[in-house]
Amino acid sequence: MSNLKNIENFSYGLEKIFPEAKDFLPIMGTDYVEYYVGNAKQAAHFYKTAFGFQSHAYAGLETGMKDRTSYVVTQDKIKLVFTTPMPETNNTEIFEHIEKHGDGVKVIALWVEDAKKSWEETTKRGAKSYFEPRTEKDKDGEVVRAGIHTYGDTVHIFVERKNYKGMFLPKYEKWESHY
């Protein structure tokens, strides 16, 4: 029990080991985790029923998303996105990921102040680009996103949303379910 006192008094502060060091990639938090799955609606329903997540947002043909369907569920600050490719499209990236790995995580999105700078800083240090910075807009503002490859087939997407007031991302609308 004496070890518990040490744990209770432990500080998880952001003290720097080298005070003069500059943070080239200030991450404000995890924005979302995206799973590529065979059935996005079923996966979202499972997380709602089994783990208490709540319906949050939806994207699909009705919202202007032509190659995939996505459901977003939340619990406190956690956002999970479940994405399924539309069968009529040639979205081979999602199909191939599911075929190779089964249902699984594709994206760990990081909330940053400046997505372009985050992408530039990481790629100049050797990260392989997944996609260059791009601005996505709708009536609720704009989001800047950029991506890099990490390990295996997983990617990090830097998300800058300081000029966005929508539900989740452009082409997503509020999702209300009755279960």
Which residues in the chain land under pLDDT 50? Answer: 1
Q: What is the pLDDT of residue 11?
A: 55
Stated pTM of the model:
0.87
Sequence-distant (6+) residues with CB within 8 A of 61 are 69, 86
Return the H-helix or E-strand segment holding 142: strand 141-149
What's the length of the chain? 179
Under DSSP, the state recorded for 46 is H
Q: What is the pLDDT of residue 8?
A: 57
Q: What is the pLDDT of residue 20?
A: 72
Q: What are φ and ψ of residue 96, in 5° steps?
A: -65, -40
Cβ burial, residue 127 (10 Å; 0-12/13-18/19+): middle
Q: What is the pLDDT of residue 111?
A: 97
CATH number of 27-173: 3.10.180.10
Rounded Cα gap, residues 116 and 158, in angstroms: 8
Q: What is the pLDDT of residue 178?
A: 74
Q: Are 145 and 171 in contact (CB under 8 A)?
A: no
Sequence-distant (6+) residues with CB within 8 A of 85 are 36, 67, 68, 91, 94, 95, 98
Q: What is the pLDDT of residue 19?
A: 72
Q: What is the pLDDT of residue 88?
A: 77
Q: Are 86 and 61 in contact (CB under 8 A)?
A: yes
pLDDT tens digits for range 134-154? 999 999 999 999 999 999 999
